Structure 1
Amino acid sequence: MTTILIVDDEYLVADILAYALEDEGFMVVKASNGRKGLEILDRERPELVITDFMMPVMDGLEFAKAIRSRPQTAKLPIILMSGAQASIGRDSPELFEAVFDKPFALNEVIGKVKELITPHD
């Protein structure tokens, strides 16, 4: 089963996204900030990351740079979801495969996830 890591300090957003992705057959793990996300990354080996931008401890930009700096995760697809900072993500195509503004259309995010990874059991 394909694992997706969602990193967002807004639990409601993370939960809604997680439920929608689980309904599509994905396994979802969640973290509330980038530092916790890196810990989960090492343990769970997700095939895609969805991250918020504005978070405590380590923001989405720092988190994405940390993922890219590690040889084992350098090619991992990362989707950014952000309110005011989406333009920063769009200015960093080397970090993010896709950027969605909050509020986002759930079906568009799921469509992009499916495009970036092919589920396999």
Structure 2
Amino acid sequence: MTTILVADDDADIRDLVSFKLEQAGYRVVAVGDGVQALDAVRAELPDLAVLDLMMPGLSGLDVCAQIRREPASATLPVIMLTARVQEQDVATGFATGADDYVTKPFSPRELLSRVQAVLARVPVAATAP
């Protein structure tokens, strides 16, 4: 089963995203900050990470950069989910290594479509959930 890490410090958004992904058949590991996100990636490499940009401790950008630096997780697909909508913010997200960038407020259906599209580009996860 495809596992997706959801890291967002807003419990309501974290719960909504987790519910939508679980409803679609994914296994979800949900955490509330960047440090927990990195710990989760290191403990059990998920198939994809959905990271809030602005989290306490480590930001989503910090987490993404660290994921890219570590050989075990360097190719882990990352989707940024954030309220930061300025062109520079989006460019920074992609420059840090994000595979996609979804802005808040967001449509849960669109996020699910983007998750499926990113996973479809990854040969190992293409056949899951």
Q: TM-score range by the shorter chain?
A: over 0.9
CA distance in 1 between counterparts of 2:55 and 2:67 reads 16
What is the DSSP-based 3-state SS (H/G/I as helix, E as strand, rest coil) of the residue aligned with 1:91?
Answer: helix
Note closer, same or farther for the CA distance 1:14–1:8 as it changes in structure 2 (3 Å cut).
same
Q: Deviations over 1:48-103 (max 9, x none)?
A: 00000111100111110010000111111100011135642333424111111101
Contact 2:67 2:74 in 1 (8 A): yes
What is the DSSP-based 3-state SS (H/G/I as helix, E as strand, rest coil) of the residue aligned with 2:79?
Answer: strand
Structure 2: segments with no counterpart, 5+ residues = 120-125
Corresponding residue for residue 98 of structure 1 = 100
Structure 1: segments with no counterpart, 5+ residues = none
Q: How large is the Cα RMSD of the aligned pairs? A: 1.5
1:120 aligned onto 2:128 = yes
**How many aligned residue pairs are there?**
121
Corresponding residue for residue 36 of structure 1 = 36
Which deviates further from its counterpart, 102-111 or 87-96? 87-96
TM-score (norm 2): 0.87
TM-score (norm 1): 0.92
Residue identity (%) = 30
